Amino acid sequence: MSSITRAVAYLVDLPVEAERNDAVQSFLKQETIFVEISTADGAAGTGYSYTIGTGGTAVLALLRDYLLPRLHGQDARRIDAIWQDLFAATRATAVGAITSLALAAVDTALWDLRGRQTGLPLWIMAGGARDRVPLYDTEVGWLHLTTEELVAGARKAVAQGRRGIKVKIGKPSAVEDAERLTAVRSAVGPDLDLMVDANQSMTAAEAVRRAALLTPVNLLWLEEPLPADDLDGHAHLARSTTIPVAVGESLYSIGQFAQYLRRGAAGVVQADVARIGGITPWLKVAHLAEAHNVAICPHFLMELHVSLAAAVPNGHYLEYIPQLTAITSSPLAVEDGAALVPRTPGLGIDWDRDAIDALRKA
């Protein structure tokens, strides 16, 4: 019997592995919300979700007080039915970040359980389109870094074989942003993919102006130029620049992605498996993007997203930001600038249970 007999949640605080600042925020710590689920026939799965510093206890409370009690007796194999049941139970707080993050912790645990029960790794269960994904490096491009540090990091990334690097923008002076990017482009040459990320810091009018200034640098994408709820602004910007506009890390439902894609307001989508509510809705977004001939380059969580980006035919790039080193013993395998899929059953993440217990906060 695959009926769920146990479902627990807990919170682990992970210190950031590097100082990370962008135009609007700092990555303070990774609040990691775990869910463990087991069934009557002895199967078990571990899922997780995260915040970059606030709201973790709210996600934990939603899980413990409302969502996990609904799981008991449900058939763990019916993942979409469970997702819909939990979503329906949280209608008054959905669509919203806290609810999506809670749903993701459950959903990823169920996919892990399914993989461990069937012996299949996630990238196969989810489609198996390829077994590796090119990596781009975000760790070398934070906004607080000096131009000299940016250039040194970019050179290091090239030496490591990275296919691309992302640089944060949103300095008070648009000219300063342009000068930083120009310095990086000169250092790495014409072939490396360069992306920029404004973290929702601009108005549409300002983004149009800044995109024109940055165009000579030859950018692969301009990420989150505007607040995520400014759909009209994104559509206007996308029509006004030759740089592809990337969005998705701040969208929390498949319907929001559908609106962006219908309007031609996203040239790249960056769905985040935690913020979209789990693997189940992530795959729906990926396939929706495929139907619109748009690539998906997931945000953060490389340890989990490597399997998903590889699973779908339109997975293009994986973002390199290591943040689970302290609690895992399965570091991302990299070969010739591409991340290789983990081939162990389930999510493919080998958790260090002692390290997790030592960092457990609630």
Catalytic residues: 168, 299
Q: Minimal distance in Å, beta carbon 198 to Mg ion?
A: 8
Residue closer to Mg ion (CB basis): 31 or 223: 223
Q: At what angle do helices 79-89 and 279-291 cross, to 10 degrees?
A: 100
User: Which of these segments, 24-32, 46-54, 219-227, 302-310, binds Mg ion (CB under 5 A)?
Assistant: 219-227
Binding residues with Mg ion: total (CB under 5 A): 2
Near Mg ion in 181-200, by CB under 5 A = 197
Q: Minimal distance in Å, beta carbon 260 to Mg ion?
A: 15
Q: Minimal distance in Å, beta carbon 230 to Mg ion?
A: 16
Residue closer to Mg ion (CB basis): 107 or 197: 197
Amino acid at 52: I
Q: Minimal distance in Å, beta carbon 234 to Mg ion?
A: 14
The CA distance from 110 to 116, in Å, is 10
Whether the ω angle into residue 95 lies within 30 degrees of 0, i.e. cis, is: yes
Chain residue whose CB lies nearest Mg ion: 197
**Block residue for tokens 């990691």:** 32
Residue closer to Mg ion (CB basis): 93 or 250: 250
Whether the Cβ atoms of residue 234 and residue 208 lie closer than 8 Å to each other: no
Distances (CA, A) of 241 to 113, 235, 349: 45, 11, 40
Q: Is 59 in a helix, a strand, or coil?
A: helix
Whether the Cβ atoms of residue 270 and residue 246 lie closer than 8 Å to each other: yes
User: Which of these segments, 145-153, 217-225, 259-267, 286-294, binds Mg ion (CB under 5 A)?
Assistant: 217-225
112 interacts with Mg ion by CB under 5 A: no
User: Which of these segments, 114-122, 143-151, 223-231, 339-347, binds Mg ion (CB under 5 A)?
Assistant: 223-231
Q: Minimal distance in Å, beta carbon 201 to Mg ion?
A: 11
Q: Is 219 in a helix, a strand, or coil?
A: coil
Whether the Cβ atoms of residue 342 and residue 307 lie closer than 8 Å to each other: yes
Residue closer to Mg ion (CB basis): 25 or 118: 25
The CA distance from 192 to 204, in Å, is 28
The CA distance from 160 to 138, in Å, is 13
Residue closer to Mg ion (CB basis): 177 or 197: 197
Interface with Mg ion by CB under 5 A: which residues?
Answer: 197, 223
